[in-house]
């Protein structure tokens, strides 16, 4: 097989533009509000309004529902829009394309490339249970628990630049990812990531392997945002598609494969029959 020359990492570049645009959008009310009181956009990642349409983070809406035991139709309607969006695309797309915490934590990955550091591995499926625990605890104590301590919220409030519990929480997570566990918060601990992981098997898009071209070089595993093991069924030719609920469609594997063996495609078959088609294409 012919190794392709270095080329533009289109998906990674697009993702960076989307990440920073979203971050600037959420910071824009601080600037725009001084110019004009009726902005086209205001709010935070938890709850916002764009051109008069209310949008709510579904995980936050669920916690608020449990904590207050009252249904707010504005919150629930906005949450349904966002929930259906991620259900249609793929759950953890939020993590790699939208979450500002990930935008910050990806920098630790770059630092880790220069220094050999320990890498504590935990069970990545447990974060779904942490999400469920947050919902139950919100109900029991009457407080939307993750929203109070969410590092994402602290970043958006700008506490990173001032003293306080928010700054120390963010610094602790950065140090944990840098010194203890590669992508540890995002891969193993974040309840919001766990919430989106729980709907991560649905969605129209998947990474597809071309087994005629893949040489098993392992490069894709080394760059995977979510966890190297989610690419194994493809590399070991057990499946032509990455169906793991943790795949965030970050595109790093696609961009970094030296043989162009990967692409992000629209799902061709319903999820329940994928296994059958995988076996069939394997027998050819
Ligand atoms: S798909 Fe992964 S293992 Fe296969 S050639 Fe590309 S980088 Fe190597
Ligand atoms: S499998 Fe590919 S697209 Fe999915 S999270 Fe890993 S690197 Fe990103």
The 10s digit of each residue's pLDDT in 133-170 is 999 999 999 999 998 888 887 777 665 556 567 778 88
- Confidence at 284, pLDDT banded by 50, 70, 90: very low
Ligand 1 mean position, distance from CA 251 (Å): 13
101, two tokens: 């915490």
Q: Which residues line ligand 1 (CB under 6 A)?
A: 214-220, 235, 257, 259, 261-262
Instruction: Tell me how far the alpha carbon of residue 239 lies from the centroid of ligand 2, in angstroms.
Output: 15
Nearest alpha carbon, ligand 1 atom 4: 214
What percent of the chain is modeled with pLDDT above 70? 85
Kindly report the average pLDDT of the chain as a whole number.
Answer: 85
Residue of 196, 197, 248, 263 best suited for mutating to test ligand 2, as the one with most atoms within 8 Å of CB:
248
* pTM for the predicted model, two decimal places: 0.87
How does residue 46 score in pLDDT terms, banded at 50, 70 and 90?
A: confident
Residue 80 forms beta bridges with which residues? none
pLDDT confidence of 272, banded at 50, 70, 90? very low
Query: Residue 282 pLDDT > 60, yes or no?
Result: no
pLDDT in tens, 194-248: 999 999 999 999 999 999 999 999 999 999 989 999 999 999 999 999 999 999 9
What is the whole-number distance in angstroms between the Cα of residue 215 and the centre of ligand 1? Answer: 6
Rounded CA gap, 149 and 75, in Å? Answer: 20
Question: Are the CB atoms for 240 and 209 separated by under 8 Å?
Answer: yes
Which band of pLDDT confidence, cut at 50, 70 and 90, is reported for residue 45? confident
Contact 91, 197 (CB under 8 A): yes
pLDDT, residue 3, reads 56
Q: Give the per-residue pLDDT at 94.
A: 96
Looking at ligand 2, which residue's alpha carbon is closest to its atom 8? 250
Over the chain, what HEC string results? Answer: CCCCCCCCCHHHHHHHHHHHHHHHHHHHHHHHHHHCCCCCEEECCCEEEECCEEEECHHHHHHHHHHHCCCCHHHHHHHHHHHHHHHHHCCCHHHHHHCHHHHHHHHHHHHHCCCCCCCCCCCCCHHHHHHHHHHHHHHHHCCCHHHHHCHHHHHHCCHHHCCCHHHHHHHHHHHHHHHHCCCHHHHHHCHHHHHHHCCCCCCCEEEEECCCCCCCCCHHHHHCCCCHHHHHHHHCCCCCEECCCCCCCCCHHHHHCCCCCEEEEECCCCHHHHHHHHHHHHHC
pLDDT more than 90, % of the chain? 59
For residue 218, the CA-to-ligand 1 centroid distance in Å is: 6
- Of the given ranges (5-9, 73-77, 166-170), which has the lowest mean pLDDT? 5-9
For residue 26, the model assigns a pLDDT of 75
Q: How many CA atoms lie within 13 A of 203 on its CB side?
A: 30
Question: Count of CB atoms within 10 A of residue 236's CB?
Answer: 9
């Amino acid at each position: 097989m012919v190794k392709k020359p270095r080329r533009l990492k289109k998906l990674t570049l697009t993702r960076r533009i989307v990440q920073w645009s979203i971050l600037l959008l959420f910071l824009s009310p601080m600037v725009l509000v001084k110019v004009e009181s009726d902005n086209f956009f205001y709010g935070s990642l938890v709850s916002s309004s764009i051109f008069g349409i209310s949008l709510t983070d579904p995980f936050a809406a669920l916690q608020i529902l449990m904590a207050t035991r009252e249904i707010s139709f504005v919150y629930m309607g906005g949450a349904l829009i966002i929930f259906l969006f991620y259900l249609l695309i793929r759950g953890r797309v939020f993590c790699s394309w939208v979450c500002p915490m990930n935008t910050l934590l990806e920098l630790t990955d770059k630092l880790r490339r220069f220094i050999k550091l320990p890498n504590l591995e935990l069970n990545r499926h447990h974060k779904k249970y942490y999400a469920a625990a947050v919902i139950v605890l919100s109900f029991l104590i009457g407080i939307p628990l993750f929203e109070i301590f969410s590092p994402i919220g602290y970043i958006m409030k700008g506490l990173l630049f001032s003293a306080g519990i928010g700054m120390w929480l963010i610094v602790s997570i950065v140090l944990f990812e840098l010194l203890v566990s590669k992508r540890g918060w995002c891969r193993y601990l974040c309840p919001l990531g766990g919430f989106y992981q729980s709907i991560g098997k649905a969605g129209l898009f998947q990474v597809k392997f071309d087994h005629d071209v893949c040489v098993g070089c392992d490069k894709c595993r080394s760059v995977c945002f979510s966890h190297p093991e989610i690419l194994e069924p493809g590399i070991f030719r057990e499946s032509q598609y990455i169906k793991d609920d943790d795949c965030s469609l970050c595109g790093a594997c696609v961009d970094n494969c030296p043989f162009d063996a990967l692409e992000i495609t629209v799902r061709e078959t319903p999820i329940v029959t994928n296994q059958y088609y995988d076996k069939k294409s394997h027998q050819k």
